[in-house]
Structures are given as structure tokens and as C-alpha cells.
Amino acid sequence: AQTVTQSQPEMSVQEAETVTLSCTYDTSESDYYLFWYKQPPSRQMILVIRQEAYKQQNATENRFSVNFQKAAKSFSLKISDSQLGDAAMYFCAYRTNFGNEKLTFGTGTRLTIIP
């Protein structure tokens, strides 16, 4: 079974600075997706960024980018120019491309932005 580990329960960053959230996963598959979701206090799960395992190029969405290291099974999220609205829980998630497309989530990292 796949597992996703987020080893940082909490992180904080000064507004306008850069922060990196860590995620590692375990799988025996070679074809899968990885995701970062943001959950603000409203509880809405918002997709931030996703990465296909067979693509070597790291995904980027505006201020959000990932460092995908397939051999190391590592998938970190970098947030540049942090803004107050970035404060939220961030969840890393895994999804196989075979069969059922359920998501396996990590336990989350609570990000605080310091004004």
C-alpha cells in the first residue's frame, strides 16, 4: 500500500519570504500523480499543484513550485513571496494511475504567515 509522510506538523514564514514544505511517499508503482492541496479555515480542499511521475520537469503554478525527486520519493512544495492568504493546512497526496483513483493523503503541515 502507498503511504505519504509529511514530517513537519507546523511551519512559519515571514510575509514575502520563501518556504518549503516536505513530503515523502512510498510506492512500488512507476506511474502515478502527486498533489499538493491547501485547506484554509473554511475547510475547502483546494488543489495547488500536481505532478505526473513520468514527467521529469518540475511543475510550477505562479508562486508555487515543486521539487520532485522520483528516485528519492520526495515531493516538496516551495512557496515564493509568501502572502497572508497562503496561511492554511497543506496536504501532500498520492494517486495511482491504475484502477481506483483514490487519493492517499499525508497528515498535513500547518503554515503560518508572519506579517
Using CB under 8 A as the criterion, which residues of the chain lie in contact with other proteins when the complex forms? 4, 42-45, 47, 50, 52, 91, 97, 100-108
| Three-state secondary-structure class, residue 115 | coil
Nearer to other proteins by C-beta: 14 or 97? 97
Half-sphere exposure of 32 (CA within 13 A, CB side): 22
- In this complex, which beta carbon is closest to other proteins, that of residue 4 or of residue 79? 4
Rounded least distance, CB 103 to other proteins, Å: 7
Provide CB contacts within 8 A for 87, sequence distance 6+. Answer: 40, 111, 112, 113
CB of 84 to other proteins, least distance (A): 21
Residue 40 CB, nearest approach to other proteins (Å): 11
